[in-house]
Structure 1
Amino acid sequence: MQRGPREIVTPYRPIPLDVPEGMALNEFFNSAENFNDLVNNNGLLSNPENLLLYRKALGHSNEFDASIIYNTSKSILDPLGRPVRRTQVPEPVKRVWNRMNQTIIAYMLEQYPDPEKHLVLSGEASLDATWPLTAPGVPSIRMLHNHFMVFPLDDLRHADLADPSNPNLTDGGQHSLFEQYMHDVYRAFIHTALDLEVLRPVSDDSARVDLTGYPQGLPSWEIPGGAAQLRDPRFWQEYDEVLKGFLDFYRSFFAQVSTRNAPMLDDLYFPEAVERVLLFNNDFMKTAKKVRDHCLHNAKAANAIRWQPAFKQLIYRNQEGKLIVTISQNSIGNAITELLGVVVSRVPDEPAYEEREPELLAHLLEVRRRLIEADLGEGLGTPYWPAE
């Protein structure tokens, strides 16, 4: 079978939303009012830490698909002032979130144990506060949220091949500025900055999903203990270290794009590695110049720059059964699945969705039961399921 990215079709039930007259959809989705739909029609569980588990009404997969969002919509009304990455989340909230993540991932791996039959993934795509509100295609909810998904590999095997030039396939081998121009310095920085005891670097071939050949060219790490390792707080500390290294690289690079010979930022996580590896590297600096010069002469390109870090960070299982962590800058696309070569085409089709809904909800309600049992929240009732 030919290896390559796949485009699958996922049906959904159209959402009855009453958007106020004169208000754009993306403006409405950033409002507290939108959360009435998330909570009242799709909410599964919430807790005092403001973490909301909900069904994805516009889902990626009808096999298993849920999200947790750090719901600061009522406590922080400024969309650009809300936490959009794990490093901005208070430690008590993060501890609860990590336990929720571990519980849900463990459930997915338990229910879908065969890596030849199902692609299992979890992770976050922090895109939300990186574009102006008026830009087309702005992600709808400016709050940190992560995703839990399962795709039957048979569905992917029988899906059409996606166009590799699809702009949403923002993996390292296709569109990433880091990968195309700064492959060596990026890896040198990551490996110099990070002191990892749990995560083990793996080659590109080991990280790839066999069927799609993705991700391509990204720094990746194996979780040697598999699902059991997710119960170790040290793993989650290192998961955050990977993000911190990415943020330092991204912010340092775009500081140089913005201002020639800019001073080193004063709030870096790894300042010694930034100074030693990045600021004296010609590939790093000449790439910044290339982007800066382009912005100076092309207004459209300048407007498209994401000056603040935009990233996708994943935990997924490859077809050898290994759990892998990877991270990528995200310059164009919005869907986290595309990092693994899965392009999702959502279509409104209520009858087709309702065929899959009972089995999907059974999984989500069992996950909710386990979270409640572990004192990670209280159940929410909707027209589709009770609170208990």
Structure 2
Amino acid sequence: METGPREIVTPFRPIPLEVPEGMKPNEFFNSTENLDDLVHNNGLLVNPENLLLYRKALGHSNEFDTSIIYNTSKVILDPLGRPVRRTQVPEKTRRVWNRMNQILIEYMLERYPDPAEHLVLAGEASLDATWPLTSPGVPSIRMLHNHFIVFPMAQLRSAALADPANPNLTDGGQHSLFQANMRDVYKEFFDKALELRILKPLHTEESMVRLTGYPQGLPCWEIQGGVESLKEVRFWKEYDLILKGFIDFYRTFFTQVSTRNAEPPKEVHFPVQVEEVLLFDNDFLKTAKMVRDRCIKDAAYANAIRWQPAFKQLIYRNDDGKLIVTISQNSIGNAITELLGVVVKRVPDADGYGRAEPALIERLLEVRRRLIDADLGDGIETAHWGAS
């Protein structure tokens, strides 16, 4: 079978929400009113830490698809002032967040044990305020949320090949500025900055999903010990270290693009490595100059740059059953599934969604029960399901 990214078709039931006159859809989707609808029509579980588990109404997969959102819509009204990554979440909330992640991932692996039958992934994408709310491609809900998704491999194998030139496919060899121009210094910075015991670096050939050939050229780490390691606090600290290292690299690079020979950004996590590795590397600074020179001459290019850290980080299971962590830049408009070469084409089809809905909800309620039993929240009653 030919290797390459796949484009699958996922039916959904159109959401009966009216956008107020004079508002753009992505402005409305950031409103408290919309989040209320999300809770009342799709909410599964909520806890005092403002973490909300909900059914994805516009989902990626009708096999298994849910999210946890850090719903700060009623306590922080300014969408640009909300936490948008784990490192900005209070420690008490992050502990609960990590336990919820662990239980959800464990459930998916237990429910779908064979990597030849199902692709399992969980992760988050940056929702940083790196562009105006009215720009195309702005995330629909500007609050930190994680995705938990399962795709049947049979569906992927039978799907049409996606266009590999699709800019939404985060391909480290073609679309990633870091990988194309600064691969060696990127790797050196991670190697010197991160002290990892559970996570072990992997080569691309070991980490990719062979059907799609993705992820391509991105740094990947094996979770040694598999799913049992997710129960260790140390793993989640290392997961955060990868994010912190990425943020330092990103911020330092675009600070140099913005201002020639700039000082290191304030409050970097790894100041010694930033100074000794990044700011004394010719490839790093040469690439910053290349981008800066193009920004001066090309207004459209400069406008498309995300000047603040923009990332996708996920945990997924490869063909050999290993759990892998990877991280990538987040380009405009793309989805977290595309990091693994899965492009989702959503089509309005109430009947098609309705055929998959009962089994999907049954699985979502099953994992909700595990979260309730672990004292991680209370069930939400909707028109579609009860609170327990």
Alignment correspondent of 1:58: 58
Q: How does 1:21-32 map to 2 (within 5 A)?
A: 21-32=21-32
Over the matched positions of the two proteins, sequence identity in percent amounts to: 73
Shift of 1:371: 0.3
Distance in structure 1 (CA, Å) of the matches to 2:301 and 2:316: 33
The TM-score normalised by the length of structure 1 is: 0.99
Q: How does 1:208-287 map to 2 (within 5 A)?
A: 208-287=208-287
Alignment correspondent of 2:114: 114
The 3-state SS of whatever aligns with 1:33 is helix
The answer (yes or no) to whether the contact 2:138–2:333 under 8 Å persists in 1 is no
The answer (yes or no) to whether the contact 2:127–2:143 under 8 Å persists in 1 is no
Task: List alignment gaps of at least 5 residues for structure 1.
Answer: none
The answer (yes or no) to whether the contact 1:128–1:140 under 8 Å persists in 2 is no
Distance in structure 1 (CA, Å) of the matches to 2:160 and 2:112: 24
1:17 aligns with 2:14: no
Distance in structure 1 (CA, Å) of the matches to 2:207 and 2:333: 21
Shift of 1:18: 2.1
Alignment correspondent of 1:361: 361
Q: Mean alpha-carbon deviation: is it higher for 273-282 or for 327-336?
A: 327-336
Alignment correspondent of 1:377: 377
Question: Cα deviation per residue 1:3-40 (whole Å; 9 max; x = unaligned)?
Answer: 10000000000000021111110110111111111100
The 3-state SS of whatever aligns with 1:138 is coil
Shift of 1:204: 0.7
The TM-score normalised by the length of structure 2 is: 0.99
Distance in structure 1 (CA, Å) of the matches to 2:181 and 2:59: 34
The 3-state SS of whatever aligns with 2:68 is strand
Task: List alignment gaps of at least 5 residues for structure 2.
Answer: none
Distance in structure 2 (CA, Å) of the matches to 1:299 and 1:62: 41
Distance in structure 2 (CA, Å) of the matches to 1:320 and 1:13: 35
Shift of 1:128: 4.1
The answer (yes or no) to whether the contact 2:168–2:331 under 8 Å persists in 1 is no
What is the Cα-based RMSD across aligned positions, in Å? 0.7
- In the alignment, residue 232 of structure 2 is paired with which amino acid? D
The 3-state SS of whatever aligns with 1:53 is strand
Distance in structure 1 (CA, Å) of the matches to 2:254 and 2:367: 41
Pair 1:57–1:207, CA change in 2 (3 A): same
Alignment correspondent of 1:69: 69
The 3-state SS of whatever aligns with 1:66 is strand
Distance in structure 2 (CA, Å) of the matches to 1:173 and 1:146: 26
Alignment correspondent of 1:159: 159
Question: How many residues in Structure 1 have an aligned counterpart in Structure 2?
Answer: 388
Distance in structure 2 (CA, Å) of the matches to 1:135 and 1:31: 16
Question: Cα deviation per residue 1:80-120 (whole Å; 9 max; x = unaligned)?
Answer: 11100110000000000000000000000000000100000
Q: How does 1:35-114 map to 2 (within 5 A)?
A: 35-114=35-114
Distance in structure 2 (CA, Å) of the matches to 1:132 and 1:293: 24
Alignment correspondent of 2:200: 200
Question: Cα deviation per residue 1:148-192 (whole Å; 9 max; x = unaligned)?
Answer: 000000100000000000010013122010011111110010111
1:300 aligns with 2:295: no
Q: Mean alpha-carbon deviation: is it higher for 45-54 or for 21-30?
A: 21-30
The answer (yes or no) to whether the contact 2:311–2:328 under 8 Å persists in 1 is yes
The answer (yes or no) to whether the contact 1:170–1:333 under 8 Å persists in 2 is no
The 3-state SS of whatever aligns with 1:14 is coil
Alignment correspondent of 1:327: 327
Distance in structure 2 (CA, Å) of the matches to 1:146 and 1:354: 25
List, as ranges, runs of 4+ consecutive aligned residues in structure 1 with deviation greater than 6 Å: none
Shift of 1:266: 2.4
Distance in structure 1 (CA, Å) of the matches to 2:42 and 2:145: 15
Distance in structure 2 (CA, Å) of the matches to 1:134 and 1:258: 23
Distance in structure 1 (CA, Å) of the matches to 2:387 and 2:181: 52
Alignment correspondent of 1:288: 288
- In the alignment, residue 378 of structure 1 is paired with which amino acid? D
The 3-state SS of whatever aligns with 2:109 is helix
The 3-state SS of whatever aligns with 1:19 is coil
